Amino acid sequence: MMDPVTDTDFLSRFIGTNLKITTIHGSFQGELFHIDSSRAIILVKVKDLSTGNTLPGAKLFFGNVILKVEIVEETSGHDSQEQGEIKDESSGNTPSQDNDQALEPKEVDVPAAQTKKKSDVKIKFSGDEEDINYVLIDQFQPMFGPAIRHLQNQKVLSLAAVALMVSPHGKLCWLQVATKSCVYIFDILLLGPRVFKNGLQMVLEDKGILKVVHDCRWLGNFLSQQYGVVLTNIFDTQVADVYLFWMETGGFLPSRTSTVKESLTRYLNPSPSQVSFLMYKEALEKDNPNIWSDRPLPAAVLKLLSLEVMHLLALRLAMLDAMLADYTLLVDGYLNAHRQGTPDLFLSSESASSELPEVLQQFSKLQQRRREKALKEHEVNSLGFLMRGDK
């Protein structure tokens, strides 16, 4: 027999209906906004029945904490309300009081005291940031199909994401995907696993599409463990930064990795106002740790998410230029040596020409000079890594 608490097809019939949800933590009433296949229910216009407080934004309930789901019908001309328990129409059964097989481990609460009203979100953007082009994908029609086709035709994409709790028990909320011309923001919390099965998984697993990510570890784990998606062909800007530090210091490793803001500042040299959006994002998360479950998300906050993923494309190009700097230096030396050489240089035997030229031998001396310079500019910790200061 089906349990309507966990039967997502059955509950989806009640989208827009006023429901009362009883959980192991209390009772809440609100309008059903979304139900996904992982048995997570989202209510909007939510009221905490134990306190009488109205909660701003949306409230997310995971299946294993729900004890009862009831329809709340307003009686015409009266303030009182009639409540009817949702039943499985095919069997007449009421919701089970025990849902041990639910996938989700906990309820994510959105306390009123920690959440700002949408109108309070004020963010100042500078210059071109005002005109950033992003597309919000929170339903499958009409934009989802064209977005996937556009992404499938790209050679390079950048990815970023935000979640409720970066842990095995967390919940991926938004996935940002940028091309040269557009940023797509996918509402994973609302669209659910179908967003991957209907095309996004093919994009993320396509070995012919390079994906630029800053610290791919947690996103890769989320996608793999919760959705069965295996990221492939990754350019990780955090790893690239460590590699470039290793090059610049003649073989030393840094004591820590860099944040997105530090990497953008180091390689793109933006003005402080051009990276201020990251400070806004950090402030929003600190003020409301559950902001990424709020629906609808203010346009200004969506723009913040767009800016972060968009800048990763430019960051990759700057890093590639830095990675090729030594190679370019050696080629220039190679070319200049031949230009300044004698005619005998071109008459060398085949065996002599295969010997390592003197100009290429200078590379080891360059590395040694860099090591000496690095030791003067950085402290060395107990593990032999160079202490790295913010730039």
User: Is the N-terminal amide bond of 193 cis, ω within 30° of 0?
Assistant: no
**Which helix (H) or strand (E) segment is 44 a member of?**
strand 41-48
Per-residue pLDDT, averaged over 344-365, amounts to: 67
330, pLDDT greater than 60: yes
The per-residue pLDDT for range 153-168, each reduced to its tens digit, is 999 999 999 998 877 7
Residue keyed to tokens 């919940």: 171
Q: Is the pLDDT of residue 132 over 70?
A: yes
Q: Which residues contact 383 (CB under 8 A, 6 or more apart)?
A: 255
Q: What is the CATH number of domain 1-72?
A: 2.30.30.100
User: What is the number of other CB atoms lying within 10 angstroms of the CB of residue 350?
Assistant: 6
Give the pLDDT confidence of 308-329 residue by residue, as tens digits: 999 999 999 999 999 999 888 8
Mean pLDDT of 37-48: 76
The pLDDT tens digits for 165-194 are: 877 778 899 999 999 989 999 999 989 999
Residue 68 confidence class, pLDDT cut points 50, 70, 90 = confident
User: Residue 111 to residues 166, 281, 297, 311: CA-CA distances in angstroms?
Assistant: 19, 19, 16, 33
What is the token pair recorded at 374?
């690095």
Report the amino acid identity of residue 214: H
Rounded to an integer, the average pLDDT of 240-260 is 95
Q: Are residues 96 and 82 in contact, defined by beta-carbon separation less than 8 angstroms?
A: no
pLDDT per position as a tens digit, 74-124? 654 444 444 555 544 433 444 443 333 333 333 333 333 333 344 355 565
Question: In the predicted model, what is the mean pLDDT of the chain?
Answer: 80
Q: Hey, which residues does 110 pair with through a beta bridge? A: none
CA distance 33 to 10: 14
User: Judging by beta carbons within 10 Å of its beta carbon (0-12, 13-18, 19+), is residue 289 exposed, middle or buried?
Assistant: middle
Identify how many contiguous H helices and E strands the chain contains and give both numbers. Answer: 13, 12
Q: Show the tokens assigned to 278.
A: 């990251």
For the 132-323 domain, the top CATH level (class) is alpha beta
pTM over 0.75: no
Quick check: helix, strand or coil at residue 108? Answer: strand
Q: What angle do CA 92, 98, 104 make, to 5 degrees?
A: 115
User: Domain residues of the chain, as ranges?
Assistant: 1-72, 132-323
Poorest-pLDDT segment among 15-19, 121-125, 246-250, 290-294: 121-125
Q: Please give the single-letter amino acid code of residue 243.
A: Y
